[in-house]
Amino acid sequence: MGLAERILAGDLRAAARLMRDVDDGFASALEELKVLYPHTGRAYIIGITGPPGAGKSTLTDQITAAFRLQGKRVGIVAIDPTSPFTGGAILGDRIRMNRHADDPGVFIRSLATRGALGGISRSTGEVVNIMDAMGMDVVIIETVGVGQDEIDIVRMAHTTAVVMVPGLGDDIQAIKAGILEIADVFVVNKADRDGADRTARDLAVMLEMGKRQEGDWLPKVLKTEASRNKGIDELVAEFENHRQHLFSSGRIDHFLREKCAVVFSEMLKDRLFSAVLDRITADGRFNSTVESICQRDHNPYSAVETMLAEFLNRPATSL
Amino acid sequence: MGLAERILAGDLRAAARLMRDVDDGFASALEELKVLYPHTGRAYIIGITGPPGAGKSTLTDQITAAFRLQGKRVGIVAIDPTSPFTGGAILGDRIRMNRHADDPGVFIRSLATRGALGGISRSTGEVVNIMDAMGMDVVIIETVGVGQDEIDIVRMAHTTAVVMVPGLGDDIQAIKAGILEIADVFVVNKADRDGADRTARDLAVMLEMGKRQEGDWLPKVLKTEASRNKGIDELVAEFENHRQHLFSSGRIDHFLREKCAVVFSEMLKDRLFSAVLDRITADGRFNSTVESICQRDHNPYSAVETMLAEFLNRPATSL
């Protein structure tokens, strides 16, 4: 029995193994993912992001506990800060969320490397798909930071929570602007700290200033103290409100279509490039082209146009 | 006279115009960049990165003043936090570094959008090339944050400074790990604050733990107070030390080759994809494929393989 069949039969070890194969870029993983794909699309995906130190892991832990009380199975994909050289996760699966470690209804996976199959967002997508096919009712994607990678990742989620803490200073203004539009709910965590009300008020003001269309979802600002389990039920209820809005407004169709378009486009881009790179690496032209660009004998723009003319099977007149 | 010729003749307006065209993805910009390319490769490129609030803009301002005293022309590319929807810079060129605004030896450009020609790192690379061809002796790239985008960007620089401030707390550990290897010099700015010595010591310990090879550059940790112009001369001297190390050790060859390889690869990837996307968009197959993936009638992996077999001009047997 292949990994995919074993995963569909409930084998957790097979799931962990396939996730590792995806991360390592094994070609065999593609065949397994093809088998799993028709079984995806059922999980409700939640994105949790925000700056370091906002308490996202504790919050994820409490949200997981709340969903478990509802009898839901929860998958967690934690994107950890990565060293570009070692590719290792700073925080491993093992030290995360110990209290759920023995719960078979919770499956946790940390992702650190960008993933050989594509970028970190692609690897994350594949891991979410595997958890989805495993029958997880909810998949939580937790990322640190607010860069483009994180934005790409949380866009996969049906509902995204952006977590802030009081007193991060003026610079938070700059951070907030980048993630204002991706948040479906704002969480001011560590709400017992000084300035929590002000941070919540500032966020609410920014939200009102943001131009939204009639009928659009207006994100709420909720206060939590994750370490004392305060405000979690309200947050989980708000997730459900947003999910219902997605479906009742019909926006779910647009959301799913955009997501499929991104998945297909990114994959097509990576594999077109890999195929051409394999050929020009094998015949030595990658190295000689790079060398001539380095020496300024050729420019990279014309070199690329030469490759396009050669490898694409029709004259590239439209370029 | 085309934009490129005007730029080479010293026309600053033409440079600003071409940078805008690059950002807007105008096809005509490619032809101008081809003309400029042979005139690039002379500027010394410095990357400055670190978390929000570390005082990078003030530091860049002081470093610029120091280079100006040496008679060097300085280009500055400031990557600003971006809203994925509006694409607008939070901080415009105008409110940045006012004291250099009237100095013809300083050219400042803020980049906010990801750039239609490719990612933000590609747009940044083109703007750096334009500044290089303009005859800027030094180009400073300033980015916020430590995500993969920022790492890709500062890797273009000959010398990268990572800026920290005292007292960002435990979470700084996670941030630091991701950027440890890209830093050629660490700056603890706002060094008059409590905990500056401890932050500097922590960084030094992490650096010693990092596995480096014999003969490798060992980054120093320097303390600055940018707002009072303290420690700037030492920092600029350390930039020069690192530059000399790059050349005397011969590492410059490897660095330049890697950089050309990345530029060529990214451009090839983008344009292969664009060419195929144009075709399948024109004949309606992009939409129909996305729809069938969304409906789970097809899986994205097989759909991509079909496209590869069709558009690449030899059987894709190596896939």
- Please tell me the predicted confidence (pLDDT) of residue A90: 42
User: Of A150, A290, A314, which has the smallest distance from its Cβ to B261's Cβ?
Assistant: A290
Predicted confidence band of residue B111 (pLDDT cuts 50, 70, 90): confident
Residue in chain B closest to A263 (alpha carbons) equals: B300
Q: Give percent of chain B above pLDDT 70.
A: 83
Which one-letter amino acid corresponds to residue A42?
Answer: R
pLDDT-wise least confident of A151-155, A278-282, B58-62, B91-95: B91-95
Region B22-47: mean pLDDT is 94
* Mutation target vs A (from B34, B182, B271; most A CBs, 10 A cutoff): B271
Residue A82: its chain B contacts at CB < 8 A?
Answer: 148, 178
pLDDT band at B76 (very low <50, low <70, confident <90, very high): very high
CB within 8 Å: A269 and B272:
yes
Q: Which helix (H) or strand (E) holds A109?
A: strand A106-111
Question: Which pLDDT does position A110 carry in this prediction?
Answer: 87
Give contacts of B276 with chain A, Cβ < 8 Å: 268, 272, 312
Cα separation values, A273 from B48, B264, B265, B269, B292, Å: 31, 11, 8, 5, 24
pLDDT of residue A86: 34
Supply B220's token pair.
């120093």
Contact residues, chain B, for A152 at CB < 8 Å: none
> Among A149-153, B191-195, B213-217, which stretch is predicted with the lowest mean pLDDT?
A149-153
pLDDT at A198: 87
Domains contained in chain B, CATH given:
41-249 (3.40.50.300), 250-319 (no CATH)
SS3 per-residue string spanning B18-60: HHHHHHHCCHHHHHHHHHHHHHCCCCEEEEEEECCCCCHHHHH
Asked whether the beta carbons of B87 and B112 are under 8 A apart, the reply is: yes
Instruction: Decide if A311 and B313 are in contact by the 8 Å CB cutoff.
Output: yes
From A36's Cα to the closest Cα of chain B, the distance in A is 9
Q: pLDDT tens across B235-289, in order?
A: 999 999 999 999 999 999 999 999 999 999 999 999 999 999 999 999 999 999 9
Mutate to test the interface with A, among B21, B272, B289 (most CBs of A within 10 A): B272
Q: Bridge-partner residues for B164, per DSSP?
A: B188
The residues, ordered by sequence, that sit 6+ positions from A296 with a Cβ below 8 Å of its Cβ are: B37, B38, B40, B41
Which chain A residue lies closest to B150 (C-alpha atoms)? A147
ipTM: 0.87
Which of A37, A276, A289 is opposite residue B296, by nearest beta carbon? A37
Interface of A with B in 253-282 (CB under 8 A): 256-257, 260-261, 263-265, 267-279
| Cβ–Cβ contact A244 with B under 8 A | no
Give the residue from chain A lying closest to B147, CA to CA: A147
- Return the pLDDT at A77: 94
By C-alpha distance, the chain A residue nearest B83 is: A178
Instruction: Say if the Cβ atoms of B312 and A275 lie within 8 Å.
Output: yes
Q: How far is A47 from chain B (nearest CA, A)?
A: 17
**B20–A contact, CB cutoff 8 A:** no
- Provide the pLDDT confidence category of residue B114 given band limits of 50, 70 and 90: low
pTM for this entry: 0.82
CB contact under 8 A, A263 and B293: yes
- Percent helix, strand and coil across chain B, each rounded to 5? 55, 15, 35
The three-state (H, E, C) secondary structure of A24-66, written as one string: HCCHHHHHHHHHHHHHCCCCEEEEEEECCCCCHHHHHHHHHHH
Q: Which residues of chain A have pLDDT under 50?
A: 82-95, 115-117, 170-171, 174, 315-319
Q: DSSP per residue over B251-316, as a string? A: HHHHHHHHHHHHHHHHHHHHHHHHHHHHHHHHTTHHHHHHHHHHTTSS-HHHHHHHHHHHHBSS--
Q: Cα-flanking dihedrals φ and ψ of residue B225, to 5°?
A: -130, 90
B249 touches chain A (CB under 8 A): no
B265·A278 Cβ contact <8 A: no
Bridge partners for B89 per DSSP: B82
- pLDDT, tens digit, for every residue of B122-153? 789 999 999 999 999 999 999 876 566 777 78
Mean pLDDT of B178-197: 86
The one-letter amino acid at B229: N
CA angle A84, A86, A92 (to 5 degrees): 105
Query: A151 contacts in B (CB within 8 Å)?
Result: 84
**A291, A293, A306, A319: best mutation site toward chain B, by most B Cβ within 10 Å?**
A293
Q: Which residue in chain B is spatially nearest to A266 when comparing CA positions?
A: B273
| Closest-CA residue of chain B to A287 | B261
Instruction: Quote the CA–CA distance of B32 and A128 in Å, as a whole number.
Output: 44
Secondary structure (3-state) at B219: coil
Binary contact (B273, A269; C-beta < 8 A):
yes
- Whether the per-residue pLDDT at B86 is higher than 50: the answer is no
Q: In A, residues 290-309, which contact B (CB 8 Å cutoff)? A: 290-291, 293-294, 296, 299-305, 307-308
